[in-house]
């Protein structure tokens, strides 16, 4: 009898041990079928993670990791390989291990995954990957209804279908607006672009009935996989993180920007295998720069900065604010290097939450509160350097600024009117100049104020005596990429051409033109 009990206990113990670790092989998937065939060799030196620990595969491509009953195992794509994508172009670099599935919630999470495979293998496809490549970045698609999914599809996706020379795309959270049943329509819309796509979690992508932060992303995981992961492309290492703490640890109400200790441990373990001269690009939803109030936990930001202190080439990306801005964080902000850290808060594809007049296709213009039109970013990487360009939806690539000038001013009369330029991608580091009638170039002055072009557009809704199609846009806020030039009234009577030249931090030069008229009052008889 004792022998039977001992044998049963041994079997239980072995099964328990088997579920406490995961092992497998990362292999070169020669026939792209996602399965390891006999002639397909393992790949050495590839990082694999359980979301906290990170290990390298051995010379045969084998790895082992500890495992609990709620984990996602993912491979960290090395340079020179590509990830298998599914029919929706979503990168398949992970395996979800939830034997019992997700807990019950308003929106369905992960179904029970069953028994862990004896060998959990990841196939990679060897490819001729260059150090020069381009990523496509979307801020906040955030549709609240199926109609707004259609606005997103027609207003953003349609002009990108078949886009060339894009390595992959990344959506920066708020993939939908609270209704997680819209995940699938969102996926189907983006799939049409035709490039591999990554996603990250935003504060409107949560299971709001979750009682702990660990369970707030169950529906997201069911559709997109891990909310914390990494991958390499060329000499760039990307780290994608969920920086939405929900419920807010301060009062259990709402959310707060920050990271958990497990996330920071993952970043620490991941960076151990990244060369110091590579560019580290971090992507998360809520800005670390706190543009408005106490939106991000200082301790989390400082701990992240400490992990990055030995990496001289860094960039971080966020969205969330429905504006566009460039921030440069210094030692005063907790950054531990002499060269400031560049944080780019990307403009959104939903713009000002699908507000504004309807265009000729019935799509809201949806200009953001700082005057930035809705659109998306292209980040061009070359080795460990980068160059960011913003593309306004529905406009040519040359449309990089909005210029506001008075229509007519009185000859030789002082005026408080000005020539304003909203340079959408701009920052204080940029140089804007203007000249009138081909004269001398003069520097414009950086200001923080409402963009008058946007303000005048919004107040049309209040001044119109007839209903306007669409929905009134949000009130204007200070723009962080606005410049002002003086209106010269001493010139001759007539129309005068104003040329604008903007030089950004990457030495890209953009130009635009406007004009104003000088007149004298008509004499009443």
* pLDDT tens per residue across span 366-418: 999 999 999 999 999 999 999 999 999 999 999 999 999 999 999 999 999 99
What b/e readout covers 89-119, taking b as 16+ CB neighbours within 10 angstroms? Answer: bbbbbbbbbbeebbeebebbbbeeeeebeee
Given a cut of 80, is residue 19 above it in pLDDT?
no
**What's the fold here for domain 401-519?**
Immunoglobulin-like (2.60.40)
Coil/strand/helix, residue 256:
strand
Please write the tens of the pLDDT for every residue from 206-220.
999 999 999 999 999
What would the DSSP string read from start to end of 412-449? Answer: T-----EEEEEETT--TTSEEEEEETT---EEPEEEEE
Residue of 419, 397, 425 lying closest to 407 (CA atoms): 419
CA atoms within 13 A on the CB side of 267: 25
Quick check: 424 and 373 in contact, CB under 8 A?
yes
Stated pTM of the model: 0.95
The rounded distance, in Å, linking the Cα atoms of 343 and 318 is: 8
Token representation of residue 210: 């979750």
What confidence score (pLDDT) does residue 5 get?
44
How is the chain split into domains, by residue range? 134-392, 401-519
d(CA 45, CA 78): 9
Q: Output the pLDDT for position 291.
A: 72
Q: 3-state SS string over 485-506?
A: EECCCCCCCEEEEEEEEEECCC
pLDDT at res. 18: 47
Confidence tier at 292 by pLDDT (50, 70, 90): confident
- Say if residue 81's pLDDT is above 60: yes
C-alpha–C-alpha distance, residues 202 and 318, integer Å: 10
Place of tokens 């002639």: 39
The values of phi and psi at residue 226, to 5°, are -70, 145
- 218-231 per-position pLDDT tens digit: 999 999 999 999 99
Topology of domain 134-392 in CATH is: Purple Acid Phosphatase; chain A, domain 2 (3.60.21)
More confident residue, 4 or 418: 418
For 435-444, what is the mean pLDDT?
Answer: 98
pLDDT, one tens digit per residue, over 29-44 is 999 898 999 899 999 9
Q: CA triplet 233, 224, 130: central angle to 5 degrees?
A: 10
> pLDDT tier at 82 (50, 70, 90 boundaries)?
very high
Closest CA to 87 of 164, 190, 17: 190
Contacts of 313 (CB under 8 A, 6+ apart): 277, 278, 279, 280, 384, 385
* Residue 6 predicted with pLDDT over 60: no
């Amino acid at each position: 009898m004792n022998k039977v009990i001992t044998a049963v206990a041994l079997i239980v113990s072995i099964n328990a041990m088997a579920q406490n670790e995961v092992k497998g092989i990362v292999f070169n998937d020669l026939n792209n079928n996602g399965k390891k065939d006999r002639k397909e060799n393992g790949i050495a030196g590839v990082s694999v993670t359980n979301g906290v620990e990170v290990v390298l595969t051995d010379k045969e491509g084998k790895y082992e990791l500890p495992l609990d009953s709620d984990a996602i195992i993912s491979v960290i794509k090395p340079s020179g390989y590509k990830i298998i994508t599914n029919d929706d172009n979503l990168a398949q670099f992970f395996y979800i291990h939830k034997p019992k599935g997700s807990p019950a919630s308003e929106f369905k999470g992960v179904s029970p995954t069953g028994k862990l495979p004896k060998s959990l293998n990841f196939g990679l496809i060897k490819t001729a990957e260059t150090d020069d490549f381009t990523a496509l970045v979307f801020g906040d698609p955030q549709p609240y209804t199926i109609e707004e999914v259609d606005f997103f599809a027609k207003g953003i996706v349609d002009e990108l279908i078949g886009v060339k020379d894009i390595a992959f795309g990344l959506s920066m959270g708020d993939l939908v607006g609270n209704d997680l049943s819209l995940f699938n329509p969102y996926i189907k819309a983006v799939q049409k672009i035709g490039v591999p796509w990554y996603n990250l979690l935003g504060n409107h992508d949560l299971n709001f009935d979750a009682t702990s932060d660990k369970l707030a992303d169950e529906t997201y995981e069911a559709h997109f996989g891990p909310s914390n992961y990494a991958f390499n492309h060329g000499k760039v290492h990307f780290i994608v993180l969920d920086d939405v703490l929900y419920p807010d640890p301060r009062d259990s109400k709402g959310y707060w920007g920050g990271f958990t200790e497990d996330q920071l441990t993952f970043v620490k373990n991941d960076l151990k295998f990244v060369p110091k001269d590579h560019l580290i690009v971090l992507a998360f939803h809520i800005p670390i720069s706190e543009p408005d109030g106490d939106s991000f936990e200082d301790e989390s930001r400082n701990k992240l900065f400490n992990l990055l202190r030995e990496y001289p080439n860094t960039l971080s990306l966020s969205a969330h604010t429905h504006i566009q801005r460039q921030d440069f964080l210094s030692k005063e902000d907790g950054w531990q290097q002499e060269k400031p850290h560049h944080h780019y808060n990307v403009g959104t594809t939903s713009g000002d939450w699908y507000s504004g007049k309807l265009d000729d296709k019935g799509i809201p213009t949806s200009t953001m509160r700082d005057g930035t039109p809705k659109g998306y970013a292209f980040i061009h990487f070359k080795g460990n350097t980068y160059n960011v360009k913003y593309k306004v939806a529905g406009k040519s690539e040359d449309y990089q600024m909005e210029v506001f000038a008075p229509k007519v001013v009185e000859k030789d009369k002082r005026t408080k009117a000005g020539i304003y330029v909203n340079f959408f991608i701009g920052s204080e580091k940029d140089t804007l100049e203007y000249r009138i009638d081909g004269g001398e170039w003069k520097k414009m002055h950086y200001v923080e104020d409402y963009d008058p072009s946007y303000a005048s557009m919004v107040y049309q809704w209040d001044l119109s005596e007839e209903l306007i199609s669409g929905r009134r846009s949000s009130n204007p806020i200070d723009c962080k990429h606005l410049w002002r030039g003086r209106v010269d009234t001493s010139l001759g009577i007539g129309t005068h051409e104003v040329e604008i030249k903007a030089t950004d931090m990457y030495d890209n030069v953009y130009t635009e033109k406007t004009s104003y008229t000088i007149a004298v009052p008509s004499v009443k008889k």
